[in-house]
């Protein structure tokens, strides 16, 4: 059996990032920057007020209350019309440019308008402020020339906001991986029709298309392919012509009808692995017309575990991600995680929550069989139980979060 780490290293090594391309920022959400973004603008572009209030000279409010003459008003989006002179104030709104002469803003909560008098409007200010108070300087957030986002940055919604704030209209990113996915098996029914004896409902492809989409891939659903070598070869070859990667489920173990194995053995360069893990021992990886192909096992739980441990990190690497695996942490198990020694690392599906002690506490989901997807689907994480007799309640256990 191949140690998991060796299989992972082999697969990752064969899945380099795709060639970058330049896209409008609006099409790049979720993608990874292949080149840094350097700002050519200041954010904010000009000094402006952080509050609604009065732009003043700080000296004029050293002794309060101070009554100042209101000589104008500036709203956000408007340009100041006159400077603030000694003994004067200008009503200013949040985000409006600071007028010349002013060096601080007193917030409106510390003011009282004292109405018209013969020589104009006046305001009574009740708080002293230091120079610079409530002013947001030009370039406070970003300065022209700053590298706002290094290569490798994932364009999250907030990063997209930063890019918009510096007017980065185009970005150079790693593209989404276009992944063809198919299930194999004569027993699979996916059209809702009644099941004859021997048939089961297809579930892996539905699950895998969702996992792939969640991982940021473009998914091409090739449906269920019968256990027919000629048909499978035709579908796989056309997928390879049109996609960046292929994911199959089923047909990679030792059965007589494991046609994926037979066909890929002929048309692709494959490595067939028995990985020292449970579930998901059988796994196939190779290249078909130059693109990576992941042959996941057919049992639904094995399929998801294999996807999580081997396919997802590799597909993320192709999309330029630097953090490839899910979050892992050391949890404490609240129940025994018993197993027997078999030379494999067991990935037990668990539910978990943070306790008052600040630790993540886990317990196994009901059923651990590799055909029991319903139980696994409720899991929050996989507990990594090393070879041996297992763990007892209260023991530390490494877990890999599933979302
Ligand atoms: P295989 O690896 O093809 O021998 O399949 C192993 C087990 O997984 C068998 O019980 C299959 O019926 C089941 N299986 C294979 N593919 C799927 C699928 N797409 N959805 C649900 N079960 C599947
Ligand atoms: Mg099969």
Secondary structure (3-state) at 151:
coil
pLDDT digits over 259-271, tens only? 998 999 999 999 9
The domain limits of the chain are: 4-16+176-318, 21-42+143-174, 48-136, 328-401
CATH architecture of 21-42+143-174: Alpha-Beta Complex (3.90)
CA-nearest residue for atom 6, ligand 1, is: 298
Chain position carrying tokens 């027997």: 340
pLDDT, residue 115, reads 72
pLDDT of 117: 60
| pLDDT reading at 97 higher than 70 | yes
Contact 195 CB / ligand 1 (< 6 Å): no
Cα 208 to ligand 1 centroid, rounded to whole Å: 13
User: What are the start-end ranges of the E strands in 163-227?
Assistant: 170-174, 178-184, 188-189, 200-201, 218-225
Q: What is the DSSP code string of 2-44? A: B-HHHHHHHHHHT-PPPPPEEEEGGG-TT-EESS-EE-SS-BS
54 and 91 Cβ atoms separated by less than 8 Å: yes
SS (H, E, C) 343-397: CCEEEEEEEEEECCCCCEEEEECCCCCCCCHHHHCCCCEEEEECCCCEECCCCEE
pLDDT classification of 348: cutoffs 50, 70, 90: very high
d(CA 326, CA 74): 50
Q: Confirm or reject: Cβ of 299 under 6 Å from ligand 1.
A: yes
The atom of ligand 1 lying closest to the CA of 299 is: 8
37 in Cβ contact with 164 (< 8 Å)? no
So what's the pLDDT on residue 118? Answer: 62
Say yes or no to pLDDT of 185 above 90.
yes
CA of 146 to the centre of ligand 1 (A): 53
- Ligand 2 center to residue 154 CA distance, Å? 38
Beta-carbon neighbour count of residue 305 at 10 Å? 26
Query: Any idea what DSSP says for residue 140?
Result: S
pLDDT in tens, 187-230: 999 999 999 999 999 999 999 999 999 999 999 999 999 999 99
Model pLDDT, residue 7: 98
Q: Whose CA is nearest to atom 19 of ligand 1?
A: 204
CB of 49 sitting under 6 A from ligand 1: no
183 lines ligand 1 (CB under 6 A): yes
pLDDT for res 20: 98
Ligand 2 centroid vs 258 CA: distance in angstroms?
A: 6
- pLDDT in the model for residue 250: 94
Sequence-ordered list of residues with C-beta below 8 angstroms from that of 72, at least 6 positions apart, any chain: 80, 81, 82, 90, 91, 99
Mean pLDDT across 157-169:
98
* pLDDT greater than 90 at residue 253: no
Tell me the CA–centroid distance for residue 249 and ligand 1, in Å.
7
Going from the Cα of 299 to the center of ligand 1, the distance in angstroms, rounded, reads 5
**CA distances, 49 to each of 56, 277, 360 (Å):** 11, 60, 45
Q: How far is the CA of 225 from the centre of ligand 2 (A)?
A: 10
Convert 256-310 into a string of H (helix), E (strand) and C (coil): CCCHHHHHHHHHCEEEEEEECEECCCEEEEEEECCEEEEEECCCHHHHHHHHHHH
Question: Which pLDDT score, from 0 to 100, does residue 378 have?
Answer: 97
Percentage, residues of the chain above pLDDT 90: 95
Tell me, what's the pLDDT at 255?
Answer: 82
Per-residue pLDDT at 116: 65
Instruction: Kindly give the pairing relationship between strand 381-385 and strand 396-401.
Output: antiparallel
CA of 302 to the centre of ligand 1 (A): 10
Q: Is the CB of 251 within 6 Å of ligand 1?
A: yes
20, 24, 44, 22: which is closest to 169 by C-alpha? 24
| Domain 328-401, CATH class in plain words | mainly beta
- Residue 185 alpha carbon to ligand 1 centre in Å: 7
Indicate if the pLDDT at residue 391 is higher than 80: yes
Any idea which ligand is nearest the CA of 280?
1
- Cβ–ligand 1 contact at 295 (below 6 Å): no
3.40.50.720, 2.130.10.10, 2.170.190.11, 3.30.300.30: CATH of 48-136: 2.170.190.11
Ligand 1 neighbourhood includes 330 CB (under 6 angstroms): no
State the ligand closest to the CA atom of 183.
1
Share above pLDDT 70 across residues of the chain, in percent, rounded to a whole number: 99
Q: Which of 241, 246, 204, 254 is nearest to 224 (CA)?
A: 204
Q: Which CATH superfamily is domain 4-16+176-318 in?
A: MoaB/Mog-like domain (3.40.980.10)
Q: What pLDDT is stored for residue 119 in this prediction?
A: 63
148, pLDDT greater than 80: yes
Residue-wise pLDDT for 358-386, tens only, equals: 999 999 999 999 999 999 999 999 999 99
Q: Which pLDDT belongs to residue 258?
A: 87
Nearest ligand for residue 227 CA: 2
Nearest to 299, CA basis, from 181, 188, 180? 188
Question: From the CA of 203, how far away is ligand 1's center (Å)?
Answer: 9
What confidence category does residue 154 fall into, taking pLDDT thresholds of 50, 70 and 90? very high
Helix (H), strand (E) counts: the chain: 8, 29
Average pLDDT for residues 120-141, to the nearest whole number? 96
Q: Give the tens place of pLDDT for each residue, 15-65.
A: 999 999 999 999 999 999 999 999 999 999 999 999 999 999 999 999 999
**Nearest atom, ligand 1, residue 202 CA:** 20
Residue of the nearest CA to atom 16 in ligand 1? 298
Which residue among 182, 183, 184, 185 has the greatest number of ligand 1 atoms within 8 angstroms of its CB, and so is best to mutate? 185
Q: Whole-number mean pLDDT of the chain?
A: 97
Whether the CB-CB separation of 105 and 99 falls below 8 Å is answered with: no
Is residue 77 pLDDT above 70, yes or no?
A: yes
Question: Does the C-beta of 129 come closer than 6 Å to ligand 1?
Answer: no
Query: What ligand is nearest to the CA atom of residue 281?
Result: 1
Tokens 């996916």 sit on residue: 190
Helix, strand, coil fractions of the chain, as percent rounded to 5: 20, 35, 45
Q: Give the list of residues 6+ apart from residue 116 with CB closer than 8 angstroms, or none.
A: none
Q: Tell me the pLDDT band of 254, cut-offs 50, 70 and 90.
A: confident
């Amino acid at each position: 059996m191949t140690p998991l780490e060796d299989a992972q290293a082999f697969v990752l090594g064969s899945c380099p990032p795709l060639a970058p391309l330049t896209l409008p920022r609006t099409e790049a959400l979720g993608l990874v920057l292949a080149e840094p973004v350097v700002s050519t603008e200041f954010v904010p572009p000009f000094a402006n007020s952080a509050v609604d209030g009065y732009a003043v000279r700080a000296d004029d409010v050293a002794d309060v209350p101070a009554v100042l003459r209101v000589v104008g008003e500036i709203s956000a989006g408007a340009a100041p019309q006159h400077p603030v002179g000694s003994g004067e104030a200008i009503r200013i709104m949040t985000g409006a440019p600071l007028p010349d002469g002013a060096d601080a803003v007193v917030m409106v909560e510390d003011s009282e308008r004292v109405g018209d008098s013969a020589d104009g409007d006046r305001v009574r200010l009740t708080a002293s402020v230091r120079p610079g108070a409530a002013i947001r300087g030009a370039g406070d957030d970003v300065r022209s020339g700053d590298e706002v986002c290094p290569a490798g940055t994932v364009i999250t919604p907030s990063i997209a906001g930063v890019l918009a704030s510096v007017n980065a209209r185009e970005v150079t990113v790693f593209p989404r991986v276009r992944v063809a996915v198919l299930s194999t098996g004569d027993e699979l029914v996916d059209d809702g029709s009644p099941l004859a004896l021997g048939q089961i409902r297809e579930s892996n492809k539905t699950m895998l298309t969702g996992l792939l989409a969640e991982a940021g891939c473009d998914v091409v659903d090739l449906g269920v392919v019968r256990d027919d070598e000629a048909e499978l070869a035709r579908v796989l070859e056309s997928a390879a012509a049109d996609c960046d990667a292929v994911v199959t489920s089923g047909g990679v173990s030792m059965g007589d009808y494991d046609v994926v194995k037979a066909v890929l053995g002929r048309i692709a360069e494959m490595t067939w692995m028995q990985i020292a893990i449970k579930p998901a021992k059988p796994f196939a990886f190779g290249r078909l017309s130059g693109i990576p192909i992941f042959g996941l096992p057919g049992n639904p739980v094995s399929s998801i575990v294999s996807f999580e441990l081997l396919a997802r990190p590799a597909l993320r690497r192709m999309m330029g991600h630097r953090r490839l695996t899910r979050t892992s942490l050391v949890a404490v198990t609240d129940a025994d995680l018993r197993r027997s020694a078999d030379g494999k690392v067991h990935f037990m599906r668990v539910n978990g929550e943070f306790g008052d002690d600040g630790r993540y506490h886990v317990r196994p989901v009901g059923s651990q069989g590799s055909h029991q997807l319903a139980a696994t689907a409720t899991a929050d994480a996989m507990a990594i139980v090393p070879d041996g007799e297992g763990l007892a309640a209260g023991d530390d256990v490494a877990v890999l979060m599933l979302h």
